[in-house]
Amino acid sequence: MPDAKLQAPTLIDNQAALGELTEKLKEKRVIALDTESDSLFSYYPKVCLIQLSAFENGDGSAIRDYLVDPLAIESITPLTDLLSQPSYEIVMHAADNDLLVLQRDFGIAVERLFDTQLAARILGKDKVGLAAILDEEFGVTSNKRMQRTDWGSRPLQPEQIAYAQMDTHYLLPLREKYSAELQSAGRWQEAQEAFSQLVDTEFEGREPSDRTMWQMKETRMLPEEYLGVLEALWQWRENEAQRRDIPPFKVMGNKALAELAENQPATKRELANTPHIGRATVHRYGSQLLEMIRDGQRRPLPEPPESARPPDYRLDRKIMARYDALRKWRTKTAEQRGVAPEIVMANATLLEVAKRSPQNLKELQKIRDIGPWKAETYGAAMLEIVKK
């Protein structure tokens, strides 16, 4: 249950209140931030709530929490300008998607970041989800039902408000705790470099709603000869979800699409006997589904995009050997450090190293996501592998 000791958050739902909040936050230097969207209820997800927390006093003895309602405010430009300034450190948890939607919806481009989930992973923590961390570090339990609530509905319910408040309230003391641990463990510089790389991610042009059938695990499990039908069905589902402005899974699940592509029923009776296809689906979409199956049978098999291919797709034998050797080195290094392998280096980065075959640290640092700390820490070992 929510912590009964928490002071109720301040709801910001008009332009005047937003102006007053922005003036208050100008005095701060560290601000916790989170968002809630309606991605489970809309084809075009939008930010429906922005949560902010800041220390009320310089001594950190009290925290004030604010819930900004962008659906009720004509413009949040004053807040956008403030949060985009490098003089403010923004504390977030699992910031990647929030950074994307904030930039997409409001033009907020965070300059300085402290990601508490990334910090936990660099520290080698076993539990890195916010709910688990709140329970372990502060003894508070978040209402998991609120993860599936409709944040676009108004008025906000008390349990929604309590859940939203907790998402940022504890990030400030958590940041202080993890900062001390990172410095004690000699991992502060590593974390700062990782935060900077996350902020520098190219979000422009990316959309959270960009989906392809290649992102479904079911696509990778189906034999190639079924992919034309799957593509036709997938495109139909996208169009229907877009027309109704609902998430695609509310039209039909991925497993149902895969079953239809594999079984390819030719009649409504066969359609009704297909796993994961209910009577209501047959009644509502039966004729359309059968038409899409016939269309998919006629179309050429789709070619997977580069992003959907395995990293070693059509690689030169020498490049493949370097890539394998680098992955083995990474696995061993991660085990020695007590962190997940991707904290040491992402697969995409290792592949780029294998392809470019850098011969010195200067060339190594030209590769994206290899900053000064990683180059100094891992450079010698990586170059030794590449030169073999």
Q: According to the 3-state scheme, what is the secondary structure of the chain? A: CCCCCCCCCEEECCHHHHHHHHHHHCCCCEEEEEEEECCCCCCCCCEEEEEEEEECCCCCCCEEEEEECCCCCCCCHHHHHHHCCCCCEEEECCHHHHHHHHHHHHCCCCCEEEEHHHHHHHCCCCCCCHHHHHHHHHCCCCCHHHHHCCCCCCCCCHHHHHHHHHHHHCHHHHHHHHHHHHHHCCCHHHHHHHHHHHHCCCCCCCCCCCCCHHHCHHHHHCCHHHHHHHHHHHHHHHHHHHHHCCCHHHCCCHHHHHHHHHHCCCCHHHHHCCCCCCHHHHHHHHHHHHHHHHHHHHCCCCCCCHHHCCCCCCCCHHHHHHHHHHHHHHHHHHHHHCCCHHHHCCHHHHHHHHHHCCCCHHHHCCCCCCCHHHHHHHHHHHHHHHHC
Q: Which residue has the higher pLDDT, 294 or 60?
A: 294
pLDDT tens, 118-160? 999 999 999 999 999 999 999 999 998 999 999 999 999 999 9
Mean pLDDT of 361-381: 96
pLDDT at 203: 64
Mean pLDDT of 274-292: 97
pLDDT at 311: 61
- pLDDT over threshold 80, residue 209: no
pLDDT at 206: 57
- Over pLDDT 70: what percentage of the chain? 94
pLDDT at 57: 82
pLDDT at 211: 81
Q: What contacts 228, CB < 8 A, 6 or more positions away?
A: 296, 297, 298, 299, 300, 301, 302
Give CA–CA dist 289/233, Å, rounded.
7
- pLDDT over threshold 80, residue 315: no
Mean pLDDT of 197-207: 74
Pairing mode, strands 63-68 and 47-55: antiparallel
Confidence of residue 226 (pLDDT cuts 50, 70, 90): very high
Q: Which residue has the higher pLDDT, 5 or 197?
A: 197
The answer to whether the predicted template modeling score (pTM) of the entire model surpasses 0.85 is: yes
Mean pLDDT of 200-214: 71
Give CA–CA dist 276/153, Å, rounded.
30
The pLDDT mean for the chain works out to 94
Domains of the chain: 10-199 (3.30.420.10), 213-298 (1.10.150.80), 310-387 (1.10.150.80)
Confidence of residue 253 (pLDDT cuts 50, 70, 90): very high
Q: Name which of 332, 346, 352 is nearest 118 in CA terms.
A: 346
- pLDDT over threshold 50, residue 1: no
- pLDDT over threshold 60, residue 2: no
Give CA–CA dist 157/161, Å, rounded.
6
Least confident among 134-138, 202-206, 296-300: 202-206
Q: Which residue has the higher pLDDT, 250 or 309?
A: 250
pLDDT at 24: 96
Give CA–CA dist 15/22, Å, rounded.
11
Mean pLDDT of 101-123: 96
Is 109 in contact with 103 (CB distance < 8 Å)? yes
Confidence of residue 310 (pLDDT cuts 50, 70, 90): low
pLDDT at 337: 97
Mean pLDDT of 209-224: 88
Confidence of residue 62 (pLDDT cuts 50, 70, 90): very high
- pLDDT over threshold 80, residue 61: no
